[in-house]
Structure 1
Amino acid sequence: MGISCIPVSNVELSSEWYVNKLGAELSYKDEDKAILNFANQSIFLVKSKKNQSANFYDIYGEEHFSLTFEVDGLNALIAIHKDFIEREIKVGEIENRGHAGRNFVFYDLDGNKFDVWSELSQSFKEKFLLL
C-alpha cells in the first residue's frame, strides 16, 4: 500500500468530497490533514497555501498529474468515467495516448489532476492473484 500526499485548501471540504464523490474511507482528520484509504493506498490531504496542487509541468509546458489509478479493463474505465460524470466530478475525455489501454483525467476541488488507466500493473495482478 502506497502513500500519497495531496495539497488541499480546506481539509474538511476536501475530505468530504473524497468520501462522497470517490468512496474513500476517512481514517483520521484534524484541522491540518486527513488520512483517507482509497484504491488500495493511503492518501493524506494536507492543508496547503492557496493555489497549490500536486500537478507539475514538463519541459514542454504540458501540465501532468502526479497519480494514476488503475482499473481492470476498458469496460471498467468506461463505467467509472460515466459514474464520475453522474457524480459531477470534473473529468476529461477517454483518450488513446498511444500505449496499451485508455485513460482519462479527473480533478478534485483544488484542481489536483489525477489519471485513470484501463490497465492493471503486473505487480497489482501478482499481489491480488489476478494472474
Structure 2
Amino acid sequence: MTKNLLRVGTIYIPVQRVDEAADWYVDKLGAYVTYKDENKAIVNMANLIFFLVKAKEKETANFIDERGEECFSITFEVNGKEELEILYNELASQGVQVGPFENRGHGGKNFIFYDIDGNMFDVWSELSSVFKEKFDIG
C-alpha cells in the first residue's frame, strides 16, 4: 500500500429523533452542532465529527458478538482514572445510563454508557500514546 489512512473523519450514529438526539449530545457530552435538518445533524466532539442520522425504529450502532453479548463500536478516551471518574459521575448525575467501572485486563479502567437511542459507547481512562505526543499531553 502506497498511501496510509490518516484519521477517522466522520462516524455515523443512528438516531430516532434528530432534534432530540442533537440536544442530548450537546447537553450530556458537550458536543456542538454545525448542521441540522430533519434527516441528520452534524455534531462535533472528541476531535471527531458525528453524523446523527435518522434511522429505522430501534436501529443502533451496537452489534452482537459471537457469545451473544451486545457490544459498543466506539471507545472514547480520557486522560486518566480521575478524569474517568469525573465523567462517570457527571453522566450519572444527568440521568445518563452508565454501566459499572470495569477492569478488562489491560491498563486503565473502562465504563459504558448509552445515548437516548440506545447506542452504547465505551470510555477508557488511558489516552493513546500517539494522541498524547501529538497534542503534547502529559
Q: TM-score range by the shorter chain?
A: over 0.9
**Deviation, structure 1 residue 126:** 2.2
- Point out where structure 1 has 5 or more consecutive residues left out of the alignment: none
**Deviation, structure 1 residue 123:** 2.0
**Deviation, structure 1 residue 22:** 1.0
1:59-112 residue CA offsets vs partner (Å, 9 max, x unmatched): 111111010100000000011000111111110011111111000000001100
SS in 1 for 2:67: coil
**Deviation, structure 1 residue 130:** 2.2
CA distance in structure 2 between the aligned counterparts of 1:4 and 1:127, rounded to whole angstroms: 22
* Residue in structure 1 matched with residue 77 of structure 2 by the alignment: 70
Are residues 1:98 and 2:101 paired? no
CA distance in structure 1 between the aligned counterparts of 2:133 and 2:56, rounded to whole angstroms: 39
CA distance in structure 2 between the aligned counterparts of 1:8 and 1:119, rounded to whole angstroms: 28
RMSD of the alignment, in Å? 1.0
| 1:16 alignment partner, one of 14, 19, 23 | 23
CA distance in structure 2 between the aligned counterparts of 1:18 and 1:130, rounded to whole angstroms: 25
1:4-43 to 2 correspondence within 5 Å? 4-43=11-50
Q: TM-score, normalised by structure 1?
A: 0.96
Q: Of the two, which has the highest radius of gyration? A: 2
**Deviation, structure 1 residue 129:** 1.8
How many residues align? The count is: 131
Q: Which amino acid aligns with 1:38?
A: M
SS in 1 for 2:61: coil
Are residues 1:81 and 2:81 paired? no
CA distance in structure 2 between the aligned counterparts of 1:126 and 1:47, rounded to whole angstroms: 37
CA distance in structure 2 between the aligned counterparts of 1:123 and 1:5, rounded to whole angstroms: 24
Q: TM-score, normalised by structure 2?
A: 0.91
* Residue in structure 1 matched with residue 133 of structure 2 by the alignment: 126
Q: Which amino acid aligns with 1:129?
A: D
- Point out where structure 2 has 5 or more consecutive residues left out of the alignment: 1-6
